[in-house]
Amino acid sequence: MREESICKAPQAKTIAEEFVDRINAERRREHLVRTAPLIVLIALALLGSVFVEGFFGLANLRNLLNQSSIPLVLVTGLAFVILVGSIDLSIEGVMGFSGSIVTLMVANSKNAMDLGFWAIPITIAAGTLFGALSGLLHVKLRIPSFIVTFGMGSVATGLGVLSYRGMPATVTDPLFASIAQGSFLHIPYLNWIALLVFGAGCFLQNSTAFGRAVYAIGDNEAVARSNGIRVDRVKIEAFAWCACCAAIAGVLGAIRLNRGEVIIGKDNLFTTITALVVGGVSLAGGSGGMFRALVGVVIVTVIQNCMILIGVDPYKQEAIKGVIIILAVALSVSRGRRVVVK
C-alpha cells in the first residue's frame, strides 16, 4: 500500500458542517454569557465571606437589601429601553426632579401645600411625562436617544432646582416617616416597594404584548415593523415606563432622606447601566431581561458593599466600576454584527 493512502490529509469541512459548528459555538457563547453573572455572584459571595469581616452578618445583609432597592427600581425601567436598542440618560434628572417636587406637595418646611398621599401619584405622573416626551422626540424627529435623554435630564434637573429655589424642603408629613421607618416581616417598606416595582417589570416582560414587542424590536426593528408591530408607540411606552420607574426611585430617595433636592439622583445612572451590563442585558438590544437585571444589581451592590467594608477610597470605587462595565461589555458584545446603541 502506498504511503500516500495511509497518511491521508484531513478532509475540508462541508458548508453544512461549518454552519453547524458556527451555531454550536454561538450557543456555547450564549450559555456562557447567560451563566457567567451567576458564577461571578457566587464567587463574590465566597470571597466576601472569606476576606470581608461581617459580610454575612445580619446587619450587613440588611445594608445590602437597602443599597439594592433604588438600583433595582431603576434597572426595572431602564432595561426596557435598552432592550429596544436605545438608552436613557435622563434617569438621574427625572429622579432628582421627582424627589424635589414630591416634598413640596406634602407637609413640609417650605410651603403650606399638603396633598398627602396624592402627592406621590402626581409626582410619578409628572416624571413619566419626561420619558414620554423623550420617546416622542426620539422616534418622531429621529434624534439619537442618548442626545434626547441627556438634554431631557438637564431640563428635569433645572426644573427640580427651580422648584425649591436652592433651599430644599424638609418633610414634616408623618406618612413619609411611617414609610421610611416601617417594615413588614422585618423588611423595610422601601424594599417591599422596590420588589413590587420589579414584579411589575417581570409582568410587563413576560405576560404582555408590550414585553414581546420590546424583544422583537430589539432583535430586528425592520422585521418587527414589517410584522405589524407599532414600533414608535412601543418605544415611547418604553421610555415612559423608564421615567416612571425613575420617578418612583426619586420618591423613595426623598422618603429615605426626608428632604427633596436634585442630588437624590446623583451617581445612579452609571451604577444602573453597570448593573444591567454586568447582569447580561445586551446594550445592542433584544437580549436580557428582568432576572439578569436583578443578578446585575446584586453583583454591583455586593462589590460596592465589599469596597466600603474594606475601606476603598470612593474615587477608586468609581474607577473600579468603570473597569467592570468595560470588561462586561467587551465580554458580552457580539462584534461585527450590530451597533452597540441605536
Give the dihedral sign, CA 167/118/68/182.
positive
Q: Rounded to whole angstroms, what are the CA distances from 271 to 26, 175, 256, 268, 301?
A: 29, 29, 19, 5, 9
Which pLDDT band, with edges at 50, 70 and 90, does 340 fall under? Answer: very low
Nearest by Cα to 248 from 103, 140, 94, 109:
94
Question: pLDDT tens-digit profile of 270-293?
Answer: 889 888 888 888 888 878 888 888
pLDDT at 242: 96
pLDDT at 1: 47
pLDDT at 333: 57
Nearest by Cα to 71 from 245, 331, 251:
245
Question: pLDDT tens-digit profile of 197-250?
Answer: 999 999 999 999 999 999 999 888 889 898 889 999 999 999 999 999 999 999
Helix axes 290-309, 189-207, angle to 10 degrees: 150
Nearest by Cα to 69 from 233, 239, 256, 229:
256
Question: pLDDT tens-digit profile of 154-210?
Answer: 999 999 999 988 888 888 888 888 988 888 888 899 999 999 999 999 999 999 999
What value does the mean pLDDT take over residues 110-126? 91
pLDDT at 86: 92
Return the residue matching grid coordinates 417594615.
Answer: 183
Whether 145 contacts 91, CB under 8 Å? no
Return the residue matching grid coordinates 409626582.
Answer: 123
Nearest by Cα to 306 from 40, 39, 6, 26:
40
- Please name the amino acid found at residue 287: S
- Please name the amino acid found at residue 134: S
